[in-house]
Structure 1
């Protein structure tokens, strides 16, 4: 049973789209996606430096476009998604929804353009940031985050929680963190997936009625507690609330485990989610689709695992 997963903000790297532009039709596809997003993704994905593509309003459309382009090479634009289940981390949920056919690629880019600009504006309202807390016990980590007036924005795995809030509180957490844990500041300019993003949520809520969503072609695992979404309308509701609510990727992995997933393929720019799976979903096969050179191995994983029922019970 194959899961395709789509990474979130922070996975982007300078020039990571360059090798994809060599494939037939990709240049034209990126031009269309750029027009829909109102951003020069061709330039940002090949020439822009790390600081430029760190900007939320640039990074999010770039990530969604990259995932759409990479996934299309797996199954062709007129064929069904080969996954048995699909999921995305944060903005990666928009990529996952596009790949699963909830809406067309251009609508996905329109949606991510609104989402990214709204989140960037909310982030600019006051100085906020995020930090990864690695290690420690979950009880101690969450208690330390609460003690400093912060929010648990991302629950990424059993060993990693991302705290978000004011810059001062993030600094205080670094100096007075939970026992046996490291606090690693992240290079982001905003407390994403917290109440600081309420303004962005409202703007997204005003936009989504302009979209027509269809039910996903494969089950879509939501960041909201790992819920399996099979309704396009339900997906739109959740993508609105997601920007100001925690991303529970650990729960998503738990859902994949319960469904008997035997393999995970992460689309470009890949590595982060497969890395988490290697620790929390031990024993499954994994592959990353970062460049066209990875297509052969990715295709082999699809052929071996798509549609295959796990031979052992993988329940918690």
Structure 2
């Protein structure tokens, strides 16, 4: 059983779509996805610089479009046996699983990205930082003492804290014992209460969508649970904007389901990197360029 993974914000890189445009079907898909979102993901994925694609309103549509287009290049019209996405990657996973049409996923991610950017701009200065290593209890105590939220619990000894910029600066200056703290280049404190205004905007947009039930197992960032109902899956994606991502629980669920291999759609690498430490022994392929499709197809064909 192979799980298809869709990466979240931060995985984007300048020029990442250039090699994929050499595949006519991917180029056509990306053009249609750009039209649906009202964001030129082709231009941003080939010409825009790192600062431009760091903008939440650009990064999120770019990532979801890339996940859908490269996922379709691998799977065709088939749905994954198991699908999961990290943060905004949940919209890509929902599209590949058949919960959302590709066009609806792009319309929703355009609203999500713009709303989260607006919420970040409207609040006091906020930020996020990755905490690598350290004792879990010490890390939790440090976050509580600074009034920070564990916005992403990624497993493999990685937690991303979020909150005010002042609190993040204090955490960087005084990290937990045996831990490294790296401030992230993001626009705000995602997956915290600072994003509540964005939830309202996304909820209104989601009300215009008629989701279907997943064609396969779709895992939720809320608790790693398989979600069988399309309405529930969409509601969870909306709520997740202002709630922590529990990727650690998603990986635990994949192990419990008996997943025998992982394929991370483009821009792959982050989630397969976490899995190498938290899901040891499970083979993984990260799609970075079309050259990686052969290995991914081989993994699919030889799935137990």
Alignment TM class, shorter chain as reference: over 0.9
Q: 1:162 aligns with which of 154, 157, 160?
A: 160
Counterpart in 2 of 1:241?
239
1:67 touches 1:267 (CA, 8 Å); kept in 2?
Answer: yes
SS, match of residue 229 in structure 1: coil
Determine if the alignment matches structure 1 residue 5 to structure 2 residue 5.
yes
SS, match of residue 128 in structure 2: strand
Counterpart in 1 of 2:39?
39
Counterpart in 1 of 2:213?
215
Determine if the alignment matches structure 1 residue 118 to structure 2 residue 115.
yes
Q: Shift of residue 26 of structure 1? A: 2.5
Query: Quick one: distance in 2 between partners of 1:193 and 1:290?
Result: 27
SS, match of residue 116 in structure 1: helix
Determine if the alignment matches structure 1 residue 96 to structure 2 residue 117.
no
Q: Deviations over 1:159-210 (max 9, x none)?
A: 0100001111000001122111111100101100000000001111111110
2:116 touches 2:195 (CA, 8 Å); kept in 1?
Answer: yes
Counterpart in 1 of 2:171?
173
TM-score (norm 1): 0.94
1:127 touches 1:189 (CA, 8 Å); kept in 2?
Answer: no
2:25 touches 2:73 (CA, 8 Å); kept in 1?
Answer: no
Counterpart in 2 of 1:184?
182
Q: 2:197 aligns with which of 187, 199, 210?
A: 199
Counterpart in 2 of 1:311?
none
Q: Shift of residue 40 of structure 1? A: 1.0
SS, match of residue 210 in structure 1: coil
Query: Quick one: distance in 1 between partners of 2:78 and 2:292?
Result: 20
SS, match of residue 24 in structure 2: coil
Query: Quick one: distance in 1 between partners of 2:225 and 2:193?
Result: 21
Q: What are the within-5 Å matches in structure 2 for residues 297-316 of structure 1?
A: 297-305=295-303, 308=304
1:16 touches 1:46 (CA, 8 Å); kept in 2?
Answer: yes
Query: Quick one: distance in 2 between partners of 1:230 and 1:18?
Result: 36
2:26 touches 2:70 (CA, 8 Å); kept in 1?
Answer: no
Query: Quick one: distance in 1 between partners of 2:103 and 2:210?
Result: 12
Query: Quick one: distance in 2 between partners of 1:75 and 1:173?
Result: 43
- For structure 1, which runs of at least 5 residues remain unmatched after alignment? 309-316
User: Structure 1 residues 264 and 299, CA, compared in 2 at 3 Å: closer, same or farther?
Assistant: same
1:57 touches 1:116 (CA, 8 Å); kept in 2?
Answer: yes
Superposition CA RMSD, Å:
0.8
2:129 touches 2:182 (CA, 8 Å); kept in 1?
Answer: yes
SS, match of residue 228 in structure 1: coil
Q: Deviations over 1:39-71 (max 9, x none)?
A: 111110000000000000000000000011111
Q: Which runs of 4+ in 1 moved over 4 A?
A: none
Query: Quick one: distance in 2 between partners of 1:189 and 1:237?
Result: 24
Query: Quick one: distance in 2 between partners of 1:29 and 1:263?
Result: 26
1:177 touches 1:183 (CA, 8 Å); kept in 2?
Answer: yes
User: Structure 1 residues 258 and 71, CA, compared in 2 at 3 Å: closer, same or farther?
Assistant: same
Counterpart in 1 of 2:54?
54
TM-score (norm 2): 0.98
Query: Quick one: distance in 2 between partners of 1:115 and 1:99?
Result: 18
Q: 1:152 aligns with which of 129, 138, 150?
A: 150
Counterpart in 1 of 2:227?
229
Q: Shift of residue 27 of structure 1? A: 2.5
Query: Quick one: distance in 1 between partners of 2:75 and 2:165?
Result: 44
